[in-house]
């Protein structure tokens, strides 16, 4: 993806839920894309259309120093964790349910390998002007998807029952400790730029009563610590995190934000 000098002066706007253009480009190209804040609508790329990216950019533009971000950014994996916590169905059954409800990416492997979450974390870091790439994320997949490379979606769904026992064991062991498992992305800033933050994505055992441990269903949540919103009074954003309707709503909100001379309407008409 190559961006040329005219992008600085174009009057064209873009609204998208597609994470790939925001991650596959270079950090410098990303910077050019969002230099004019109302030009590139990307709220639907992270947390299903919540105001996460917009809020982080506002923090950056007002010099509010962010120290730590932790979140569950995948409605799909959040749904899997919540259902596995109930211990009523096998992992393979829950994945098939998620596919039927259209909670997953077109290919569910793209959720289970964790790269979708890692892309969202890169977008968040780049929105704070950190020149990171996907390779900078320490990534632990939900399951080892390498063994399923080349499988069709149907073959994969028929084969993942092999993961049932190992996944059940992980959740059983967490429960025995009074904890639960969540698929968490984290960004920890140990120093201000130019030093890069620590970026990590993976399955973690946490307290059921914690900010992320209390999540249910496909909900997404992010906890942001700054110099003002410090530990114990974190800035929290929670939203529905999966489904075509949720994403479509985020796109519509970005389109509304770009309307010039937007006026109030009449909800009852």
**What is the pLDDT, as a whole number, of residue 242?**
63
253-259 contacts: CB < 8 A, separation 24 or more?
A: 253/43, 253/49, 254/15, 254/41, 254/42, 254/43, 254/44, 255/15, 255/41, 257/38, 257/41, 258/13, 258/15, 258/38, 258/41
**What is the pLDDT, as a whole number, of residue 28?**
95
With CA atoms as reference, report the closest residue to 203 among 130, 146, 143.
143
The CATH H-level superfamily of 51-241 is: Dihydrodipicolinate Reductase; domain 2 (3.30.360.10)
**What is the pLDDT, as a whole number, of residue 193?**
61
Q: Is the peptide bond before 123 cis (omega within 30 degrees of 0)?
A: no
Report the run of H or E that residue 169 belongs to, with start and end. helix 164-176
Helix/strand/coil percentages in the chain, nearest 5? 45, 20, 40
Q: Under 8 Å CB-to-CB from 213, ≥6 apart: which residues?
A: 179, 180, 182, 206, 207
With CA atoms as reference, report the closest residue to 127 among 254, 9, 65, 34.
34
Told to judge if 120 belongs to the known catalytic residues of this protein, a careful annotator would answer yes
Cα dihedral 220→100→147→142 (10° resolution): 20
**What is the pLDDT, as a whole number, of residue 194?**
62
Which residue of the set 96, 120, 200, 221 is catalytic? 120
**Is residue 203 within 8 Å of residue 227, measured between CB atoms?**
no
Query: Mean pLDDT per 10-residue run, the chain (269 residues)?
Result: 51 84 94 86 83 92 94 92 93 94 86 94 95 96 92 92 96 94 94 81 95 90 95 91 77 83 71
Q: Cα–Cα distance between 73 and 219 in angstroms, integer?
A: 9
């Amino acid at each position: 993806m190559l961006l040329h000098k005219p992008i600085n002066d174009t009057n064209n706007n873009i609204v998208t839920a597609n994470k790939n253009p925001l991650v596959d480009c270079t950090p410098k190209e990303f910077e050019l894309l969002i230099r004019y804040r109302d030009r590139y609508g990307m709220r639907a790329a992270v947390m299903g259309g919540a105001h996460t990216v917009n809020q982080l950019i506002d923090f950056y533009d007002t010099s509010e120093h962010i120290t730590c971000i932790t979140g569950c950014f995948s409605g799909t994996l959040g749904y899997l964790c919540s259902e596995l916590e109930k211990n009523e169905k096998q992992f393979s059954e829950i994945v098939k349910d998620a596919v039927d409800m259209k909670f997953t990416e077109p290919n569910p492997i793209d959720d289970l390998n964790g790269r979708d979450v890692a892309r969202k974390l890169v977008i968040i870091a780049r929105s704070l002007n950190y020149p990171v790439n996907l390779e900078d994320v320490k990534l632990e997949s939900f399951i080892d998807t390498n063994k399923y490379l080349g499988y069709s979606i149907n073959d994969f769904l028929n084969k993942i029952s092999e993961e049932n026992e190992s996944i059940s064991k992980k959740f059983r062991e967490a429960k025995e400790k009074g904890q639960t498992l969540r698929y968490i992305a984290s960004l920890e800033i140990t120093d201000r730029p130019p030093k890069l933050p620590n970026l990590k994505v993976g399955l973690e055992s946490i307290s059921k009563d914690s900010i992320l441990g209390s999540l249910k269903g496909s909900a997404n949540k992010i906890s942001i610590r700054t110099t003002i919103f410090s530990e114990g009074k974190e800035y929290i954003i929670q939203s529905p995190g999966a489904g075509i309707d949720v994403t479509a709503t985020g796109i519509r909100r970005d389109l509304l934000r770009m309307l010039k001379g937007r006026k109030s309407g009449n909800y009852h008409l």
